Structure 1
Amino acid sequence: MAPSIAGLTQDEIARLSPYHYIPSQGAALAMIILWGLSTLLHTGQAIRYKTWFMLPTVVLCGVMETFGWSGRLWSFYDPVIELPYQIQITMTILAPTPLIAATFVLFGRIIGRLGPVYSRLSPRLYAIIFCSCDVISLVVQGLGGGLAASANEKDGRGPELGGNLMLGGIIFQLPNSTVVIITFSACSGEFIYRYMTRRPLGRRAAHSSLANIEDGNSGRGVLTSKLKLMLGALSLSTLLLFIRAIYRTIELFDGWNGRIISTEVYFNVLDGAMVIVAIWLLNFVHPGVFLFGEGSSSECPRSCTAGMAAGSESAWT
């Protein structure tokens, strides 16, 4: 039961709050509206364009973020109780993970359109490798978020263990992991370079040449204006999520009572704003129009869809 806050000043209430401040009502309301609208729009777009893999990835992110910010709004009215704090910290930590998984899948499909001969990884491997990293991170962060949120100092169990687990998950997966994001960026950057300079990988080029003799294809797709916009949107989205990951990592290194986690504007800008812009980018530059609308299949590889579903279930078990 929450302690009585009757007669306490705003500063005294803030000191009792697990946030170390009273969350902003206006910021929470604005983000709930933006997340709710984006999620509804993405759901409609997934149905309209039959991009079903967007449901367990992008739409799931939107639903989780909406719950997370709803927890922050609840905390505005009841700033010292633990349940809304537990909801917001768990949801906002986990939510971007399925969103970045969609980026991996979409870039794999772009490779399939422009020419796998220029890529070190096949389009299918982009989904298998990077989505698998997402699933592992989702489980680790879910476990860590739950332990951190339910920590009870009176029982001698502080949030340090959960914080360390979340930190491990954040460091492992990017936009919550430098290793994954750097690997992904290196592979995608090499692909773009090879495509633009017409330098296919030798073994893949030899394989492709035999197939192309039979079907008459050149093995090199056309980088249309729509694909350019899709690539630009994915690049900016990944950058924004990377900024958010850096902030979260520094936040946890600073500690649960540190200045960073105790400053609301950092969270609103470096977490909330980064992720909301990233998801709205995919509303405006939707793959159903800018990628699959030009003749490519919109089905998600089974490995990604099944993996994300399994990861989501594991995180809550």
Structure 2
Amino acid sequence: MEHIVAARASFGYIDPNFPNPDPTDKNNTSIIIYGYTPSITLAAFAAAWFGVHFIIHLVRTIRIRSWWWIPFTVGLVFEIIGYIARSLSAKKNPYNLIYFILNYFFIVVAPVFLAAGIYTILSALIPRVGRRYSFIPPRVILAFFITSDVISTIVQVAGASLVGVKSSRGEDPETANNILLGGLAYQVFVMTCFVILVATFLFRARRVLKEQGLSLFCFVFSVATIMIYLRTCFRLAETAQGLMGELQSNEIYFGCLEFAPVALVVLLFAIWHPGHCVGVVVRVDEKQ
């Protein structure tokens, strides 16, 4: 344990039980950028979890013909690829920069597609129960929130890639980390706006939602929204601490605040599939 603490405290984390298999390989970094050696158990379980739910969501989407839910399913593909890359880091080489970038890129980008599905749910509910219950038109909701997610994700991926490159060269990654932090801060701001919008809509439309038998589904939708929001806040706090901070260098936080919230969301929507609960076809025209 003392060796591990010392390794982290100096310039980064090096696993004394898992030395760099090939220090001369240009794709290998001098430290483990994760801040720990990833758990193969968590990575393999996550890949399997999202794999099973990908099949469930795809089959139900095709059977119901709710094609508007396809982006959520695409997000599950990204999760699977991300955790497969993480499994390779855990089992083969945690120093490999390519594995780290693939892991980070796909796991960070996946929630963009998942969030797009959540934004669409709200946009579908508004015309169904009445435009007067929402402060913003459904078309604007889709355009603004999806565009904002794409922008923030591009910034995050650029920042994360720079962090990996700077760290592999033994250079100060502070500027790159600040770029990543900016993308995450904007994403948290946007998600905060969405959470407030969802809360006000559901409160104002509560009677109509109950009359239409949508109360339970809207509770599931609320939980899913909060879980994605929690995951985004975790990423912001992790990045704000900087490389090798408490949140970034302990995998328990990743498992509980990155994997678990997203895993719960895909489970909830596998049980209460939005295509079945909201409708096969999404209309975003403004019903009064």
Do these two structures clear the TM 0.5 threshold for a shared fold by scoring above it? yes
Smaller-chain TM-score range?
0.7 to 0.9
* 1:10 corresponds to 2:20: no
Corresponding residue of 1:288? 275
1:224 aligned partner, one-letter code: Q
Corresponding residue of 1:275? 262
Q: 1:243 aligns with which of 215, 219, 230?
A: 230
Question: Could you list the per-position Cα deviations for residues 230-268 of structure 1 after superposition, in whole angstroms to 9, with x for gaps in the alignment?
Answer: 211111011111111111111111111222211011111
Question: Could you list the per-position Cα deviations for residues 215-241 of structure 1 after superposition, in whole angstroms to 9, with x for gaps in the alignment?
Answer: xxxxx676433x222211111011111
CA distance change for structure 1 residues 18 and 50 in 2, over 3 Å: closer, same or farther? same
* 1:120 corresponds to 2:135: yes
* 1:170 corresponds to 2:179: no
Q: Distance in 2 between matches of 1:221 and 1:275?
A: 26
How far residue 74 of structure 1 moved from its aligned partner, in angstroms, is 0.5
How far residue 9 of structure 1 moved from its aligned partner, in angstroms, is 3.9
Corresponding residue of 2:212? 224
Q: Distance in 1 between matches of 2:60 and 2:200?
A: 31
Question: Contact 1:114/1:223 (CA < 8 Å) preserved in 2?
Answer: no
Question: Could you list the per-position Cα deviations for residues 46-79 of structure 1 after superposition, in whole angstroms to 9, with x for gaps in the alignment?
Answer: 2222222322x21121111111111111012212
1:108 aligned partner, one-letter code: S
* 1:86 corresponds to 2:96: no
Q: 1:60 aligns with which of 53, 63, 74?
A: 74
Question: Could you list the per-position Cα deviations for residues 77-103 of structure 1 after superposition, in whole angstroms to 9, with x for gaps in the alignment?
Answer: 212222211111222222112211211
Q: 1:255 aligns with which of 242, 247, 254?
A: 242
How far residue 130 of structure 1 moved from its aligned partner, in angstroms, is 1.5
Q: Distance in 1 between matches of 2:177 and 2:82?
A: 18
Question: Contact 1:20/1:262 (CA < 8 Å) preserved in 2?
Answer: yes
How far residue 23 of structure 1 moved from its aligned partner, in angstroms, is 1.2
Question: Contact 1:170/1:248 (CA < 8 Å) preserved in 2?
Answer: yes
* 1:46 corresponds to 2:61: yes
2:64 aligned partner, one-letter code: Y
Corresponding residue of 2:147? 132
Corresponding residue of 2:86? 72
Corresponding residue of 2:202? 192
CA distance change for structure 1 residues 145 and 94 in 2, over 3 Å: closer, same or farther? farther
Aligned residues: 261
Question: Could you list the per-position Cα deviations for residues 151-183 of structure 1 after superposition, in whole angstroms to 9, with x for gaps in the alignment?
Answer: 355374x4333322222111112xxx1x22232
RMSD: 2.4
Q: 1:161 aligns with which of 175, 178, 189?
A: 175
How far residue 300 of structure 1 moved from its aligned partner, in angstroms, is 8.2
Q: Distance in 2 between matches of 1:94 and 1:106?
A: 19
Q: Distance in 2 between matches of 1:300 and 1:275?
A: 26
Q: 2:122 aligns with which of 107, 119, 138?
A: 107
TM-score w.r.t. the length of structure 1 is 0.75
Corresponding residue of 1:183? 193
CA distance change for structure 1 residues 9 and 152 in 2, over 3 Å: closer, same or farther? closer
Identity of aligned residues (%): 26
In structure 2, runs of 5+ residues without a counterpart are 1-14, 21-29
Q: Distance in 2 between matches of 1:139 and 1:80?
A: 24
1:10 aligned partner, one-letter code: N
In structure 1, runs of 5+ residues without a counterpart are 1-7, 198-219, 302-317
TM-score w.r.t. the length of structure 2 is 0.82
CA distance change for structure 1 residues 182 and 260 in 2, over 3 Å: closer, same or farther? closer
How far residue 299 of structure 1 moved from its aligned partner, in angstroms, is 6.7
CA distance change for structure 1 residues 258 and 54 in 2, over 3 Å: closer, same or farther? same
Question: Contact 1:93/1:145 (CA < 8 Å) preserved in 2?
Answer: no
* Local SS of the residue matching 2:249: coil
